[in-house]
């Protein structure tokens, strides 16, 4: 029953019934649907998974299934955690890393946003500078970290500088993308109404680019944290990164876990805070 479909479509009417033998009998089936569990059930399952994992870890360490020298064990980690906070430098380290991250984040984001916005003012300037920015973006900035430590010393400034190096380009490029996407018709409308460039910049460019600048905040807080940790790895007297490195070098695996745990908590808290700020800002900026 091969019908020459390709030839003379218009002239010969196609035998519609010809396709029928090719089809199988019609099989009706229900729409597949998953029954969703309620939120408490989901949370319960998550807790069970977490507790189960920790218990399994503890059990395998005690039974000798895994080497507790390398992997440590939850009970030991908890002990060290207490010691770290009561007798150790916990708060000094946390505060050091936190300050370095926050400063790197704020300086890098602000600087990057300003650079991105500045491209609006002159197409020539943007065209000249853009390749350099893209080049700088493609450099693995962390590879420059030892150099930055040499220049800025082993204190806080070098950690901030690494964070800035990581965040500034992301902000600049994102903001520049925002600048390029400013509605040309709105721009023309403003000029038709006799606006000056400064007015167009303040009333149109900045407000339309803001959501772009804000959308990059969550990425940047993570990058700034990475920057300060790497800086502390290389050379530092304080900070959670230094604590991790020090503990690893002295085979205090439990302390490594403690520092990682504290670092993760810090990271999550900062992320949640920034995400909240982002939500609040977006609500004011975008309609």
Partner 1 sequence: MSTAKIELRGVTHDFVTGEGQLFRALDNVGFSVSPGRFISLIGPSGCGKSTIFNAIAGLQTPSAGSIIIDGREVTGMIGLVGYMLQKDLLFPWRTVLDNVVLGMEIRGVKVREAREYARPFLARYGLGGFEDQYPAALSGGMRQRAALLRTLLFDSEIILLDEPFGALDAQTRARMQEWLLQIWSDFGKTVIFVTHDVEEAVYLSDEIYVMAARPGRIRARLDVPLARPRPRHITLEPAFARMKERCLALLDEEALTRGDAPPLGAQAPSAEPALAIEPPPPSAQRLSTPGLAA
**Which residues are at the interface with partner 1 (CB under 8 A)?**
183, 185-186, 188-195, 199, 203-204, 207-208, 285-287
Nearest approach, Cβ of residue 208 and partner 1 (Å)? 8
Nearer to partner 1, 32 or 123 (CB): 123
Residue keyed to tokens 């876990």: 257
**Encoding tokens for residue 277?**
């700020």
Nearest approach, Cβ of residue 181 and partner 1 (Å)? 13
Give the containing element (helix H, strand E) for 2: none
Nearer to partner 1, 95 or 199 (CB): 199
Nearer to partner 1, 166 or 205 (CB): 205
Nearest to 260 by CA among 237, 236, 233, 241: 241
Contact between 233 and 242 (Cβ < 8 Å):
yes
**Encoding tokens for residue 59?**
């059990």
Nearest approach, Cβ of residue 201 and partner 1 (Å)? 13
Nearer to partner 1, 113 or 267 (CB): 113
Nearer to partner 1, 154 or 195 (CB): 195
Give the integer Cα–Cα distance in Å for 204 and 186.
Answer: 8
- Integer angstrom CA distances of residue 265 from 2, 65, 76, 159, 280: 68, 29, 19, 20, 23
Nearest approach, Cβ of residue 115 and partner 1 (Å)? 23
Nearest approach, Cβ of residue 75 and partner 1 (Å)? 55
Give the integer Cα–Cα distance in Å for 285 and 261.
Answer: 36
């Amino acid at each position: 029953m091969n019908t020459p479909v390709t030839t003379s479509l218009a002239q010969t009417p196609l035998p519609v019934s010809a396709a029928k033998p090719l089809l199988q009998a019609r099989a009706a089936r229900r729409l597949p649907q998953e029954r969703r569990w309620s939120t408490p059930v989901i949370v319960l399952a998550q807790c069970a998974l977490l507790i189960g994992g920790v218990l399994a870890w503890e059990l395998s360490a005690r039974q000798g299934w895994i080497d507790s020298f390398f992997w440590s064990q939850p009970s030991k980690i908890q002990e060290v955690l207490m010691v770290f906070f009561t007798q150790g430098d916990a708060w000094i380290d946390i505060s050091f890393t936190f300050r370095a991250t926050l400063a790197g984040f704020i300086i890098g984001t602000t600087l990057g946003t300003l650079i991105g916005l500045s491209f609006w003012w002159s197409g020539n300037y943007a065209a000249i500078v853009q390749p350099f920015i893209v080049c700088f973006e493609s450099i693995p900035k962390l590879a420059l970290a030892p150099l930055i430590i040499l220049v800025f010393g082993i204190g806080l400034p070098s950690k901030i500088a690494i964070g800035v190096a990581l965040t500034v380009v992301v902000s600049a490029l994102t903001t520049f993308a925002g600048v390029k996407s400013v509605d040309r018709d709105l721009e023309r409308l403003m000029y038709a109404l006799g606006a000056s460039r400064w007015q167009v910049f303040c009333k149109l460019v900045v407000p339309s680019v803001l959501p772009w600048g804000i959308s990059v905040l969550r990425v940047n807080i993570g990058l700034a944290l990475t920057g300060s940790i790497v800086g502390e790895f290389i050379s530092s007297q304080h900070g959670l990164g230094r604590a991790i490195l020090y503990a690893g070098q002295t085979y205090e695996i439990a302390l490594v876990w403690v520092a990682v745990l504290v670092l993760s908590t810090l990271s999550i808290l900062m992320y949640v805070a920034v995400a909240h700020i982002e939500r609040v800002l977006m609500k004011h900026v975008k309609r």
